[in-house]
Amino acid sequence: CPAACLARLFKLERYYRSFGALSQLAADSKDVFKVTGLAALSLWVTFSSVMWLLESSNPMVEIRQYYVSIPKAMWMTLLNLSGECPLADYSIPGKLVTGFIGIFAVSIFSVPFGLMSGGFQDELEDNVEEELKREQEEKEKEEHRQQELEEQRRMISSQGEGPQAVARFLRGSAQDELGSQVPTRAAIAFEWVCLTMIFFTVVAVLLESR
The per-residue pLDDT for range 183-195, each reduced to its tens digit, is: 667 767 777 888 8
Question: What pLDDT was estimated at residue 126?
Answer: 75
Question: What pLDDT was estimated at residue 177?
Answer: 47
Buried b (16+ CB within 10 A) or exposed e, 42-67: ebbeebbebbbebbbebeeeebeebb
Handedness of CA 187, 190, 191, 192 (dihedral sign): positive
Average pLDDT of span 106-115: 74
Q: Which residue has the higher pLDDT, 170 or 100?
A: 100
Question: What pLDDT was estimated at residue 112?
Answer: 73
Question: What pLDDT was estimated at residue 70?
Answer: 93
Q: Which residue has the higher pLDDT, 70 or 177?
A: 70
Scanning 159-184, the segments in alpha helix (DSSP H) are 162-171
3-state secondary structure string across 101-143: HHHHHHHHHCHHHHHHHHHHHHHHHHHHHHHHHHHHHHHHHHH
Question: What pLDDT was estimated at residue 51?
Answer: 94
Alpha-carbon span 84 to 76, nearest angstrom: 9
- Percentage of residues in the chain with pLDDT exceeding 90? 18
Question: What pLDDT was estimated at residue 85?
Answer: 86
Question: What pLDDT was estimated at residue 134?
Answer: 86
Give the model confidence (pLDDT) of 150-165 as tens digits: 887 776 565 555 556 6
Give the model confidence (pLDDT) of 74-94 as tens digits: 999 999 888 888 888 899 999
Alpha-carbon span 11 to 194, nearest angstrom: 71
Distance between the two ends of the chain, CA-based, in angstroms? 96
Give the model confidence (pLDDT) of 24-70 as tens digits: 766 777 787 788 788 888 989 999 999 999 999 898 998 999 999 99
